């Protein structure tokens, strides 16, 4: 089987790389913060001594990094992935970054005969550990077919959604919908509590009708208990909603709800809640209400 070079061993990246190794791929890892990767050997992952060594050893390179500048630096920078890559490399960025940056990376890849895909994920830490992520893939159909066996080791719903950048665009739409569903649920929970309604019964009947959603199913317990262990950090959600706003503006789309949601999330982060799970959006509703 192919050798996969993996860069980015955070909350999501570490279990994703482990699942690749479990599926039988030879996985090579590299990190600029060595303490992050010191215990990878027990998961069947080999450590590379440098980014250059990782790229030379790999048929496929995957990045899973926090934000657009991180990816640009590691991939396009001096001594980065593309500087060391031979023609024919398959490069898959699974980070959530700006669609226009994903397009720029794809153009740069094409000039070097590298196959590039943007393939961000949804499903959180649990999905990464279980290998049940949803993966939205942008790029050429050929590169997508080549990547499928690798992606299948990490996800369950894997869909090619269009040319380069499309994966990031769909991920941005995903975050916009999730933010709307979270805030709608948060306001509903505070409203029901203020009226003294039995929450578990109310959520049962709400979940059975048109108000039912994955957010209601997976996040209402956090909200009721005001327990916000991540999960998915508000600081990353703020970054993602910034991507939504920029990508909407670029195409002349007005997202009234999206911009209010972005402001709400920014307010929570500004006031110190950036490390809480995104179900903590209910804190703003609490603070603005008589509770």
Q: Which residue number, 23 or 248, has a Cβ lying nearer to a copy of itself?
A: 248
Q: Which residue number, 7 or 285, has a Cβ lying nearer to a copy of itself?
A: 285
Tell the smallest beta-carbon distance from residue 143 to a copy of itself (Å): 16
DSSP code, position 17: H
Cα separation values, 8 from 175, 200, 255, 268, Å: 21, 39, 32, 27
E runs forming strands in 72-111? 90-93
Q: Is 251 a catalytic residue?
A: no
Pairing between β-strand 3-7 and β-strand 60-63 as defined by DSSP bridges:
parallel
Tell the smallest beta-carbon distance from residue 165 to a copy of itself (Å): 8
CB contact burial 248-260 (16+ within 10 A = b; e otherwise) = beeeeeebeebee
- Would you say 121 and 141 are in contact if contact means Cβ atoms under 8 Å apart? no
Tell the smallest beta-carbon distance from residue 247 to a copy of itself (Å): 7
Q: Which residue number, 111 or 210, has a Cβ lying nearer to a copy of itself?
A: 210
For residues 125 and 243, give the distance between their C-alpha atoms in angstroms, rounded to a whole number.
21
Calculated CA dihedral for residues 97, 100, 103, 107, nearest 10 degrees: -120
Tell the smallest beta-carbon distance from residue 141 to a copy of itself (Å): 11
Nearest residue to 223 via CA among 272, 180, 278, 289: 278
Q: Which residue number, 27 or 206, has a Cβ lying nearer to a copy of itself?
A: 206
Choose the catalytic residue: 22, 112, 141, 171.
Answer: 171
Tell the smallest beta-carbon distance from residue 269 to a copy of itself (Å): 17
Angle at 271 between CA 268 and CA 272, to 5 degrees: 90
Q: Which residue number, 116 or 178, has a Cβ lying nearer to a copy of itself?
A: 178
Calculated CA dihedral for residues 248, 73, 71, 118, nearest 10 degrees: 80
Q: Which residues are catalytic?
A: 171
């Amino acid at each position: 089987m192919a050798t996969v070079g993996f860069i980015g061993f955070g909350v999501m990246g570490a279990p994703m790389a482990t699942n690749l190794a479990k599926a039988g791929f030879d996985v090579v890892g590299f990190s600029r913060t060595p303490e992050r990767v010191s215990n990878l050997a027990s998961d069947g992952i080999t450590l590379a001594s440098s980014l250059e060594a990782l790229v030379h050893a790999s048929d496929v390179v995957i990045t899973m990094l926090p934000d657009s500048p991180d990816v640009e630096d590691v991939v396009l920078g001096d001594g980065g992935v593309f500087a060391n890559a031979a023609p024919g490399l398959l490069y898959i960025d699974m980070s959530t970054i700006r669609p226009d940056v994903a397009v720029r990376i794809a153009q740069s890849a094409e000039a070097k005969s590298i196959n590039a895909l943007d393939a961000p994920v949804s499903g959180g830490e649990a999905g990464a550990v279980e290998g049940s992520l949803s993966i939205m893939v942008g790029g050429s159909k050929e590169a997508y077919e080549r990547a499928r066996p690798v992606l299948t080791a990490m996800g369950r719903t894997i869909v090619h959604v269009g040319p380069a950048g499309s994966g990031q665009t769909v991920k941005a739409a995903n975050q916009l919908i999730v933010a709307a569903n979270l805030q709608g649920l948060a306001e509903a929970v505070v409203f029901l509590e203020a009226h003294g309604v039995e929450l578990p019964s109310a959520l049962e009947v709400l979940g059975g009708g048109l108000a039912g959603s994955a957010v209601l199913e997976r996040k209402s317990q956090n909200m009721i208990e005001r327990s916000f262990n991540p999960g998915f950090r508000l600081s990353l959600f703020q970054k993602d909603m910034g991507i939504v706003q920029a990508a909407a503006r670029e195409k002349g789309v007005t997202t009234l709800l999206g911009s209010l949601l972005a402001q709400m999330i920014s307010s929570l982060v500004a006031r110190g809640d950036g490390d809480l799970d995104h179900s903590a959006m209910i804190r703003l509703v609490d603070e603005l209400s008589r509770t």
